Structure 1
Amino acid sequence: MTCAGCGRENGPDAKFCGGCGAPLGLACPACAHPNPPGGRFCTECGRALAARPAPAASEGERRQLTVMFCDLVGSTALSERLDPEELRTVVRAYQDAAGDVIQRLEGHVAQYLGDGLLAYFGYPRAHEDDARRAVRAGLEIAAAVEALSGRLAAEMRVTLAVRIGIHTGLVVVGEVGGRARQEQLALGGAPNVAARVQALAEPGTVVISGATARLVPGLFVLRDLGPAALRGVATPLRVHQVLGESAAESPLEAAAPGGLTPLVGREREAALLLERWERAAEGQGQVVVVSGEPGIGKSRLVQAVRDRLDPAVYARLDCRGSAYHRHSAFHPVIALAERALGLAREDPPEARLARLETEVARHRLPAAESVPLFAALLSLPAPDRYPPLALSAHRQRRKTLGAVLALLAAVAAGRPLLLTVEDLHWVDPSTLELLTLLVDQVPGMRVLALMTARADFRPPWAPRSHLTQISLPRLSRAQVLEVVARVSGGRPLPPPVVRAIEAKTDGVPLYVEELTKMVLESGLVREADGGWELAGPMASLAIPATLHDSLRARLDRLGPAKAVAQLGATVGREFGYEVLAAVAALDDTTLEEALAALVDAELLQQSGVPPRARYAFKHALVQEAAQESLLRSARQQHHRRIAEVLAEQFPDVAETEPELLAHHYTEAGHAEAAILHWKRAGRRASARAACVEAVAHLEKGLALLPAVPDAAARAQHELDLQTILAPALMAVRSPTAPEVEQAYARARELCRAVGVTPKLVWALEGLWAFYFVRGRYATARELGQEILDLAERLGVPRFRVIGHQALGATLLHLGALTEALAHLAQGAVLYEPRPPDAGEDFREVNDPGVMCLAFQGQALALQGHLDRARARAEEAVRLARACAHPFSQAFALCAGVLVSFARGEAAPALAQADAALTLAREHGFPLWSATATVLGGWALAAAGRHAEGIERLRRGLAAWDAIGAGNLRPYYLVLLADACRCAERAEEGLAAVAEAGAAIEATGERLWEPESHRLRGELLLLRDATRNAEAEACFRRAHDLARDAGARLLAVRAALSLARRAASAPEGRRLLAEALAGLDEGFDTVDLREARARLDAAAAR
């Protein structure tokens, strides 16, 4: 806070000025205007003033801090040379010089350690550029002590120099010491590292750690000193000597030489600015104010517009508000005038004055008035050859404003002028007055005044026709992904990482860039095959160090409302007033005022009014920063209180959102309560077929098991969790995923250890599904029999259904149709739908009744009972829908495609496959996604869309192989061969048939062996019509295999292939008659219709 009386900068907690003792007011959180003590509203912009910030809580805070350690060189020798009183004078002068610099840059002197000094930047109030302030303070302290040394050398024959070390790191700031003497100190490694870094500095120099250097890239000129081994620090740290400030005025300017990320999502705004520039260049002066929240890309848009203009045809002048000079009159105007007049700050006053006179004459300004006015503004000595101004302060101020405007008009008269004024929210009142005059006068000038401001800045000028306001929105999801891709060099990041970046950054470009850079630098991902892959398990993304300061600065400006923000952030990204009120120990008035302040500061969005109001943090990173600022112990207390309140006072939330209570109990360290709620959340998600969410909930519960001390309770909890997790894993990651086998095997082991026999059925059923899909039918058959034997002992009908279904499905794929049908029919008879209130802690992988019906339909179709097959397939789909079990629905639809294939009906097959694909994609079922892709491919090819169908078939087969499935491969390859036959692509078809044969031998899946031989014969003839004998041998082999297996439909097809050839037609008709004997349905289907027609035609002859 700057004292209005003497101009001294005071700390943010000061109530009275340290220079003159005058009472201090409050800086407005919106416009930073200093207000007199006692006011409730800002006298500049009318916004509500926060109460004076309360001192830091005694329990402390976690925060990123930039720590400076400053040490006086040779203090021991000084103490030997000087009288103690003289030494006291010298040390105090040094401490005052350093303290003044630190206070002016809004740092905090934590301790005076004899001849040393410890300072914090980022506490008690954070700024978005604390690291920059610290390094700048270090340079200024070194210069101030050098100047002090010159004075003391003359007065006391004493020379002084300092060594300064700076480091940035995570600390806990809080009270230390006993009751008699307490201090607010930062505890952690950062102060110690800063002290060690200081020891590496030469006298009169500043050395910073790599951690600090990464926060100020391009803003200072650094000399790399390489890695240094520091006492007490495990690994060497890279350190840098600071040689001085660079010419860059902003982080964007500093980053420009290294290349900026291309502008994304601002094409419309850039086009509007260029259109306004065209108007200005034609003499219709324009003013544009680009506003938006921090990090939204205001400066980047300005830079993009500059880049698109030809520098040869326009003049450019830039200035900006500065957080360091908010109360320094005309600070940006002085920089603007110096640039317009071509004055270099390093030149001596005489040279600057001569250049001033030259430029005034060149621009044809009245020298007698302009030169003295600009000399006064720029702190140059007034030349004797000009008469003194002899003006009142007010009159001189108005004349100075007019002179600057005249200078701008003169510059624009030569070439159109692009005048950029950045960070309006930090400009001083005098500069704002100049800009107000410019807004009035700009229509007659060839000037585009392009200004930027934070979203909460309220300009003092009224709307005008030549004034345009552009409010930058957040980026869309697609634009966020584009920024991520550009930062990652066009190489794709793993989808989980991209989703995490998208969720945390909320469309703010700076956040997207910095979080992506952090990911690339953190070791979370590694380069692989032209992209990036996870180097280990996906971890939560931390707040980048480059964003810590700006996020904490927004929180520290809140005053007492910060505590409410911290509590609300602990409740969640969104929360209701009633819940927060029940948790917070505040009266309604205080709470509502604090929430209003958070909404005013644009940290929260509000809908409704208390007590029914709901609030949401605008940024996930702000919420995270608010939470992380709490000590772990305080955070745990908050979470425990929130969980207790939700459980006791909001039972509906506990019932419908058990994962919310689970989260709070987890963070509170209450493992058993958390496990119970994670289990409930997993069960609830599974019941809704939200399997991805179920897996996430249940894995969190499993992770807490080591915290349960009782072994028996721990085993029971794990069994409960594993029996819900395993089927969800099967749905999400495919039945063949290794973790599926592990989950079911662990569940089986726990069942036997705990003695819970009924749940053993579910474990065995899951293991059966794993081996069945893997194509390991011998093991699957053994498990099916074990399930059936156990079910018979338990006497539970549903368990018997599962056993019959498992055995029936396995036997079906082994080609034992009759035996398979017996089991499937018995399972269908025993099946009863599970009542919705059954209350088990698990669900089957697939509804057993649906499976019995669907597999029955397939077996009946292959036996030639095509109408009954269709009826069973349709019944399976209806039952799956009635069960509201999407996994079973997808299975039933895919199983129905085989019946359509058997009936030769491409259109229904395509509809079923596409419906299954939609379900699979919606719910994340990779197994059914691959299956539906294959089946739809055959349907397309059978419908005449050959190329499209074969391409889709191959895509599905690749996906099927990718998930590690071993079963059904012969079936899918037969479909591919049939599609190639339709497309007359014989070589591809024969390759598919050969591959199908190899898959049959590898798995023992004989169901489609007859069809593979038949198709081989058809494709041989397609390739060479003279190979009749070889083809006929294939057809006979197909017929014999089909007949022996009881697959009459496949026998009919083989016989038809023989009957279509003149040489083998009689044999084919004989075999057709045998195959059709006993069939009394399905004669409207393709194969049976042709078979009957051939027999009838032969009989008629």
Structure 2
Amino acid sequence: MSKILSQKEKIEGERKQVTVMFCDMEGFTPLVEELGPEESYSIMDQVYEILIHKVHEYDGTVNEMTGDGVMALFGAPIALEDAPQRSIRSAFAIHREMAQFSDKMRKEQPELPPLKMRVGIHSGPVVVGTLGNDLRVEFKAVGDTVNLASRMEGLAEPGTTYVSDDIFKLTEGFFRFEALGDREVKGKEEPVNVFRVVSPRTRRTRFDVSAESGLTPFVGRERELELLMEGFERSKSGRGQAFFVMAEAGVGKSRLLYEFRKAVANEDVIFLEGKCLSFSHGVTYHPIIDVLKFTFDVREGADDSEITERVKKGLKILGVDEEHTLPYLLKLLSVKDSGVDKISMSPEAMKDRITEAVKRISLKGSELRPQIVAIEDLHWIDKSSEECIEALLDSIAGSRIFLIFTHRPEYVHTWGAKSYFNQISLTHLSNRESLALVRHLLSTEETDKELDDLTFKKTEGVPFFIEEFIKSLKDLKIIERKNNTYKIAKDMKAVSIPSTIQDVIMARVDLLPDGSKRLLQIGSVIEREFGYELIKRVAGLPQDELLSALSVLKDSELIYERGIYPQSNYIFKHALTREVVYDSILAKKRKELHKEIGNAIEELYGDDLSEHCELLVEHFFLSEDYSKAADYSKMAGRKAEKNVSLNEAAAYAAKRVTALEKLPETKDILKQKIDARTSLGLYMFQLFYFVEAKDAVEPIFKSAVDIGYTKRVAQLYTIMGTYSYWVKEDFKTGIKQLEIAADMSVKSSDVVSGFFSNQWLGFAHAYCCNFKKANRHFKKALQINIETKNIWGTSVVMGCISHWVLNYNGLIAQGYKMSHKALKVALKSGDIYSKA
């Protein structure tokens, strides 16, 4: 919240996945009429205080005061990885506080109606930014997130929270809902599925939900589990141990802990757990309170007297003195009459007494039985809990206590290093292990290789990413089951990164210092890997500032460095991180950055742009500088052609066509369009895609003829002739068009149409058993290739003469001799067809 407030005035526009909550008071207008403006204002002032406080408590921001309520955002301007869950918890807190406030007001003014709020919540994409000094939200065509949240609030009954289907899907494991069915909503053509939030469930983490619904196979962590078991054995013998399990979000920290808990289930051991939650970092001693509830078996909803009795009974079993322990434990457990108020001491002394009490029961407990204390997600820990754990860590060396902590890489403890401290770093799953997860999720023993490769590329061995990605593919029907296997069934452009993954990634990115975040955004626009000199030129930062910002990104493990400064390259650790960061940048800003990057590459590598032409195509195309995009597409296509990569050459030719089509029509542009479409047609023609070749050249055929572009017209007739003959099977027209091409190739001295028209006339005549004519055209094609020293074409035509003319005429010996010559030439050219 502090970062949100301190940076509110300089948040640059970004596209974000945001949860929007509308909260309005029921019966506000009659209330004003009955009480008058002054008294109503006083009541609403107190209501606003409740609303704002409860929104901020869960790291939301109040975006707008609506007169009788508020509009709040969760996940903007700072992303939150569990924004939908926070918004509902905030709504529960609002309803609870408002009920207490209403009771209080009605005792003072019995004539007042019950004061209740209606809450509506929806999640979706929005654009956030600053205008003047106020945070504002702009809504683009990507969705009507705010409108639908407002409609949910309008449907809600007083004192209830209504949510959309999107919110339900994201939080159904954490709360109980009542399905209200489809409702007609203003502004929506189709009815909207609506849910009423009933109550929270006991599950508090994503893993808790997964464990209840069924876990995927435990793979790739066998050695790490062995290390934990070995450490546990040491602690049982009186050599206390502490293990720190570190990994990024979703890599498997909670799962490893779950499997360890299962492994020791039959041991005579006390297993205590505490969780640091993202929305509880402001709650002092939260994980310690969790551990105490486990220790004394305090159930949810227990009243003060029951809690006191359970703690007293537990202390007696442990043999711990009540006088110096009980009051402090009861205070942590929120018992009103804990006895602490009767003891006069400073806050620091109180903290010391609490720490000593926790340490005392832990050490005493381990004397009865070995004790395991597991605390998850230290990156969200509060300061008081951290200090309490530090004191416990200093005391376990000779005890039977086994401590396990999980945390993300960004968390660095200050507890030093001791001989009984152990670090486990979880790595990503291998492709084989990832595949086992995918097949379990799809309930199949076989998956299509294209789907496997896509999953490996997108998720890179992060189990959480794998689960969410596969779920998204199934939900969107991008994949389908065929013959006991799953295959990709739709264009992958329809796939968006699941909001759950976006939230996890952007929650980390938004916590970066401004300079580092901006650098990450620039890097995401360049490509997954970017060089130091290039980003330095685009960012325009002083060297020290640039290196400092890059260092933050490396330390946070968002990027890796390769090479030696200043020839360093930087690589996004996850392809998904790059995609999510790129998608968060507004289209206008992205366009500007692509232009700046393209210009910077030209300046840096002006002496050899052919090495970077592929990258320049993308940057200038996406910056909408279509003239340069067309030029570099031509360069990239020729480069691919030289490398005998016709598919790639065709792709760049198509890109060039698209770029030129976007430019205003001039004589020069028309000529370039004829060149580009003819090149595309020739590449398709050489790949035997005759229909696609015809489609490429048809739009400019007449224009090429009209301006007398003889060389290109000859090539166009070659393409149209092969299409007519081999696709339409209009043999007469096909031969006629190929003969026109052959004649025009002589007049224009064009070897391309000369070679191909004669070669395909040879095929056409041989197909009709006119072997003499076929031989004549094949020999013309052969002569052209020999004169131009094209050994690839020479070997191809020799093979054609051997097969289509000599062998078909029964001249087997001559055919074999010619074939042998073709093979010798093919060995020099590397042509696979002639070799065959």
TM norm structure 2: 0.89
Establish whether residue 504 from structure 1 lines up as the match of residue 458 from structure 2.
yes
Contact residue 678 and residue 700 of structure 1 kept, 8 A: yes
1:121 maps to a residue whose letter is F
Partner of 2:601: 646
Which of the numbers 592, 598, 605 marks the counterpart of 2:547?
592
Taking the aligned partners of 2:649 and 2:69, their CA distance within structure 1 comes to 57
Choose 459-468 or 776-785, whichever is displaced more.
Answer: 776-785
Query: Counterparts of 1:692-731 in structure 2 under 5 Å?
Result: 692-704=647-659, 706-710=661-665, 716-726=671-681, 728-729=683-684
TM-aligned CA deviation for residue 804 of structure 1: 4.1
Which of the numbers 440, 446, 452 marks the counterpart of 2:406?
452
Contact residue 714 and residue 742 of structure 2 kept, 8 A: no
Rate the CA distance shift 1:202–1:802 in 2: closer, same or farther, 3 A: closer
- SS of 1:260's equivalent? coil
Partner of 1:93: 46
Contact residue 374 and residue 403 of structure 2 kept, 8 A: yes
Rate the CA distance shift 1:13–1:247 in 2: closer, same or farther, 3 A: closer
Rate the CA distance shift 1:282–1:105 in 2: closer, same or farther, 3 A: same
- SS of 2:155's equivalent? coil
Which of the numbers 455, 465, 469 marks the counterpart of 2:423?
469
Larger radius of gyration: 1
Establish whether residue 286 from structure 1 lines up as the match of residue 228 from structure 2.
no
Rate the CA distance shift 1:233–1:774 in 2: closer, same or farther, 3 A: closer
Partner of 1:1090: none
Partner of 2:214: 259
Taking the aligned partners of 1:736 and 1:665, their CA distance within structure 2 comes to 29
Rate the CA distance shift 1:276–1:137 in 2: closer, same or farther, 3 A: same
Taking the aligned partners of 1:353 and 1:549, their CA distance within structure 2 comes to 41
Query: Counterparts of 1:348-747 in structure 2 under 5 Å?
Result: 348-380=303-335, 394=348, 397-412=351-366, 416-490=370-444, 498-539=452-493, 541-561=495-515, 562-608=517-563, 611-652=566-607, 654-704=609-659, 706-710=661-665, 716-726=671-681, 728-729=683-684, 735=688, 738-740=691-693, 742-743=695-696
Partner of 1:849: 794
Taking the aligned partners of 1:201 and 1:166, their CA distance within structure 2 comes to 10
- SS of 1:232's equivalent? coil
Partner of 2:139: 187
Taking the aligned partners of 2:565 and 2:125, their CA distance within structure 1 comes to 37
- SS of 2:493's equivalent? coil
- SS of 2:513's equivalent? coil
Rate the CA distance shift 1:872–1:340 in 2: closer, same or farther, 3 A: same
- SS of 2:3's equivalent? coil
TM-aligned CA deviation for residue 335 of structure 1: 1.2
Partner of 1:231: 186
Contact residue 226 and residue 239 of structure 1 kept, 8 A: yes
TM-aligned CA deviation for residue 151 of structure 1: 0.9
Contact residue 209 and residue 240 of structure 1 kept, 8 A: yes
Rate the CA distance shift 1:387–1:196 in 2: closer, same or farther, 3 A: closer
Rate the CA distance shift 1:114–1:830 in 2: closer, same or farther, 3 A: closer
Contact residue 500 and residue 541 of structure 1 kept, 8 A: no
Partner of 2:90: 137
Taking the aligned partners of 1:292 and 1:661, their CA distance within structure 2 comes to 37
TM-aligned CA deviation for residue 296 of structure 1: 2.1
2:832 maps to a residue whose letter is A
Establish whether residue 336 from structure 1 lines up as the match of residue 291 from structure 2.
yes
1:101-126: CA deviations, max 9, x gaps?
11222211112121121111122222
1:689 maps to a residue whose letter is V
Partner of 1:154: 107
Taking the aligned partners of 2:737 and 2:48, their CA distance within structure 1 comes to 82
1:422 maps to a residue whose letter is E
Contact residue 854 and residue 876 of structure 1 kept, 8 A: no
1:516-562: CA deviations, max 9, x gaps?
22222224344444444555434164222122222222222123222
Contact residue 245 and residue 405 of structure 2 kept, 8 A: yes
Query: Counterparts of 1:39-54 in structure 2 under 5 Å?
Result: 53=7
1:868-924: CA deviations, max 9, x gaps?
34541332313423xxxxxxx111221xxxxxxxxxxxxxxxxxxxxxxxxxxxxxx
Partner of 1:891: 833
Taking the aligned partners of 1:538 and 1:387, their CA distance within structure 2 comes to 63
Contact residue 4 and residue 78 of structure 2 kept, 8 A: no
Partner of 1:301: 256
Partner of 1:1099: none
- SS of 1:864's equivalent? helix
Partner of 1:12: 3
- SS of 1:598's equivalent? helix
Contact residue 285 and residue 442 of structure 1 kept, 8 A: yes
Contact residue 451 and residue 487 of structure 2 kept, 8 A: no
Rate the CA distance shift 1:560–1:153 in 2: closer, same or farther, 3 A: same
Rate the CA distance shift 1:835–1:499 in 2: closer, same or farther, 3 A: farther
The root-mean-square deviation of aligned C-alpha atoms, in Å, is 3.5
Partner of 2:817: 868
Taking the aligned partners of 1:340 and 1:755, their CA distance within structure 2 comes to 92
Contact residue 880 and residue 892 of structure 1 kept, 8 A: no
1:386-422: CA deviations, max 9, x gaps?
9976776555544533443443345555554443211
1:939-963: CA deviations, max 9, x gaps?
xxxxxxxxxxxxxxxxxxxxxxxxx
TM-aligned CA deviation for residue 263 of structure 1: 3.3
Partner of 2:827: 878
Taking the aligned partners of 1:690 and 1:546, their CA distance within structure 2 comes to 39
1:552 maps to a residue whose letter is M
1:654 maps to a residue whose letter is L
Contact residue 856 and residue 872 of structure 1 kept, 8 A: no
Partner of 2:281: 326
Rate the CA distance shift 1:486–1:672 in 2: closer, same or farther, 3 A: farther
2:139 maps to a residue whose letter is L
Structure 1, unmatched stretches of 5+, are 2-10, 16-52, 837-845, 882-888, 895-1101
TM-aligned CA deviation for residue 786 of structure 1: 4.9
Rate the CA distance shift 1:644–1:388 in 2: closer, same or farther, 3 A: closer
1:469 maps to a residue whose letter is Q
1:34-66: CA deviations, max 9, x gaps?
xxxxxxxxxxxxxxxxxxx47334x63222211
Rate the CA distance shift 1:112–1:736 in 2: closer, same or farther, 3 A: closer
TM-aligned CA deviation for residue 340 of structure 1: 1.1
Choose 676-685 or 855-864, whichever is displaced more.
Answer: 855-864
Choose 96-105 or 805-814, whichever is displaced more.
Answer: 805-814
Taking the aligned partners of 1:215 and 1:664, their CA distance within structure 2 comes to 36
- SS of 2:688's equivalent? coil
2:375 maps to a residue whose letter is V
Partner of 1:63: 16
Partner of 1:990: none
Contact residue 807 and residue 823 of structure 1 kept, 8 A: yes
Taking the aligned partners of 2:484 and 2:657, their CA distance within structure 1 comes to 35
Percent sequence identity over aligned pairs: 26
Contact residue 627 and residue 663 of structure 2 kept, 8 A: yes
Contact residue 763 and residue 774 of structure 2 kept, 8 A: yes
TM-aligned CA deviation for residue 150 of structure 1: 1.0
Contact residue 491 and residue 532 of structure 1 kept, 8 A: no
Alignment coverage as a number of residue pairs: 825
Rate the CA distance shift 1:719–1:509 in 2: closer, same or farther, 3 A: farther
Partner of 1:221: 176
Taking the aligned partners of 1:200 and 1:741, their CA distance within structure 2 comes to 57
Partner of 2:67: 114
Taking the aligned partners of 2:737 and 2:795, their CA distance within structure 1 comes to 20
1:212-263: CA deviations, max 9, x gaps?
2233231122222222221123332222211222101201102222223333
Which of the numbers 77, 80, 105 marks the counterpart of 2:33?
80
TM-aligned CA deviation for residue 334 of structure 1: 1.1
TM-aligned CA deviation for residue 160 of structure 1: 0.9
Partner of 2:156: 201
TM-aligned CA deviation for residue 638 of structure 1: 1.9
1:461 maps to a residue whose letter is W
